Structures are given as structure tokens and as C-alpha cells.
Chain A
């Protein structure tokens, strides 16, 4: 996966990296067990301070997207979730509402929106079965 950073953006560089890793995982471009470039490699490649890369990795690790194995490198973690289904449902509903607001303002019918969702859903790597979680 190719990372990039844009200093004209209003999103801080470490945030841009976090967003790219999360998007990569969601689209199945990064699979559990895939190894990410080391902090030094990525810092050199993107020409950014290594601490910025380290900060992005640390946050991704904290939320469970990445896993550092001492001496081996940084890997994409196996998806797991500490939040209850109810809490996750609530988070997703909030995001969905934002999408609906946009769709209404852009003048789409609900059927058109559903069709678009159907059309694009295949681009993402969803979990295939319900995980047993609290």
C-alpha cells in the first residue's frame, strides 16, 4: 500500500496516516498479518519526522488496528472489538445520519441512495460472520 501526505491539507499529517491505514484495512488492501513499513522506512519515504509516523502507529495500536511485535515489526491486527454491539450500532448510526444529511441536501431519493450503497458495498472488506462479542 502506498502512503502519502499532504501538508496543504487541514488534516494533521499523523491523522492522514491513520485515515489511510484504516481505509486500507476497510477496503481489504491491508489484511490481518500484513506487515507495515517500519517507522524509519515510512518517515524516509514520506519525508516526515519519525515521531509523526510513530504517533500514528501508536494511536492505531491503541484502537486495535495495528499490532507491534517486538523486534519483528508492525502488523495489521486481527479484527476484534471491545465495544458492545449496542455501542457500535450507536456509533454507526451517527455516521449514517451524516450520510443521510448529505444525500438529502444533494437531492437524492432514498432509492437512489440505496442503489449507490449496493453498488459500492463490494469495495469493502466486511466481516463475513457475526463475531461473538459482548
Chain B
């Protein structure tokens, strides 16, 4: 499979703070990649570097096989970007914005734009300034998909939208995914949405990509263990993959990554009365993983490397 997005040791400082740290990101053709992280983790800066809007201090990025720093305008036409907050030229009306956008592309699907505007009941005469936040998101989606891009990069596109508009937006996104070969990178804080649309997730923690694997693999890897003791429980346990732990009376709760034999042995050696293993949903897993006191254990796609001998994944791991 070909990589549609690829970065090599991409690094950016703001003053002395390293906001993106040697990032090796790879997104394959046809993937829907959920790009996650807490505020300030480096997601938007990464996306801006991908779009050539921020210069990296070192390293480089490639989109559709070409260096971002020397992207052919023809290639650029195959990439769509929806910026955070859906910035539009507010003094235009919808019809003007469509005509304006159209001028930059050799390929423009007028019927598709018409369909999307109709679907959302938007009239071309409406001034962008007077649209609601949700309607602005719908217009920017229409403008982004009109050139039928192969790659869509969406920076927190559902931020500030109400539940119904958000669902409409996701539905449109699913329809785009149905068109073969589309690759999407989407950053979001709404983990339920990400779980619906993303095949694969990457989690940035303090500028470093700490997780890069399938959505299900991540969920299944992060577990909560509840240990019951007859008396007061031990403070913690020393084992690999421990993300967080706390004591509640006679209970010890542990958050572990990649629960395996070694961890089981370590946990059992504490001789608890009972061990309960609790699954977490994506949001819970994300919260536990990213707020761990220690730097959480990295989690990469080991599940696939079995098939392709890890050749494909070595760039990341």
C-alpha cells in the first residue's frame, strides 16, 4: 500500500518549546486516520506543517509522494484542507465563495456542490457572515470536496457544532469515505465520532506520536484492572506497561497497556482476593492513557506486523 501522508522526523519549536518532536507519521491510501491528542499536543501544528503553512525546523513531510516544500500545484489540487473553525471570506455570499473556490481548480464537481448545498438547504444568496457555525462548516465541506480530492485533511471540523449538525457532518464524511481510495486525516476531541469514522488512530502526547494503531487495537490494549485485597492494598505494582494506578481502600486500580502474561504474573504475585479486568471505551482509554503520570508506554501496530514481517511498520516503530 502507498503512503499518502508521510513525515520524516518532523520537528517544530515555538520559542524554546518543542511542540512537534521527530514525528514519523504515515497514513496509507484509503485510510481514515483519527489524529488525537490533548490541547497543545502538537496536532494543529503538524497539520499546518503538512499544509505548508508552518515551516518545520527540521525534518520533512510528503503528501501524495511529493515533498510539501516543493508541491506541484497539480498535486495540491488533489488535496483538500478544512482549517479549524471553518474560516471563510465572510463578506462573500455562498454563490460567490463557490465561484471563487472553483477558479483555483481544474477539476470541480458542480453537481456535487449543488447536492451538498441542497442537502443542507443552503441558498447561494446567503451571506457567509450571517450563517450559523454549523452552516459555515457545511459550506466549507462542500468547497473542500468539490475538487474531488484524494486526500482530505480536517482540523477539528466538528468543533463548536451542535449534536445534530455534527451527525450530519459525519454522515457526509461517511459518504465521502464510500468513494473509493479517499484518504482522510481528521483531528477531533470527540472520541465517539472518531471511533465511528476512523480505521486507525494516532495519539500525540507532548509533541510525540505515542500511539499509532487500529482503533480497535488501541481500545483492546488499554485495560483497567481492579484488584481486591483482604486488608489495605499495596501502593502500586511494578510491571511494564503500567500507565496509572491508585488505591481505593482495599482496592488497587491499575491502568495497563497491552495486558499480557508478564503483567498477569506481576499482578498475581500481589496475591489479591480477586482480579477484575474492565474494558474501556475509546474515550476512557484515551483519558487514562494520556493523563498517566509516567510517560505512557508507546503503542504501535504490532497486530499487523505479524503479517508483513514488520517491514511496513519499521518506519514508525
Contact = CB atoms under 8 A, between A and B. Distances in A.
Q: Do A and B bind each other?
A: yes
Interface string B281-292: 111100000000
Given A9-B281, A10-B281, A44 B171 contact: yes
A51 B199 contact: yes
Interface string B175-201: 101100000000000011101111100
A12 interface: yes
B282 A49 contact: no
A47 B174 contact: yes
Given A7-B192, A49-B177, A12 B171 contact: no
Interface residues of B, number: 26
A8 B192 contact: yes
Nearest to A55: B216
Nearest to B280: A10
A50 interface: yes
A103 to B, nearest CB: 20
B170 interface: yes
Interface residues of A, number: 19
Interface string B267-291: 0000000000011111110000000
Contacts of B199: 49, 51
B32 interface: yes
Interface in A85-132: none
A47 B195 contact: no
Given A7-B282, A8-B281, A49-B32, A43 B174 contact: yes
Interface of A: 5, 7-14, 40, 43-44, 46-52
Given A5-B196, A11-B279, 6 more contacts: A8-B192, A8-B281, A13-B195, A14-B216, A46-B196, A50-B177
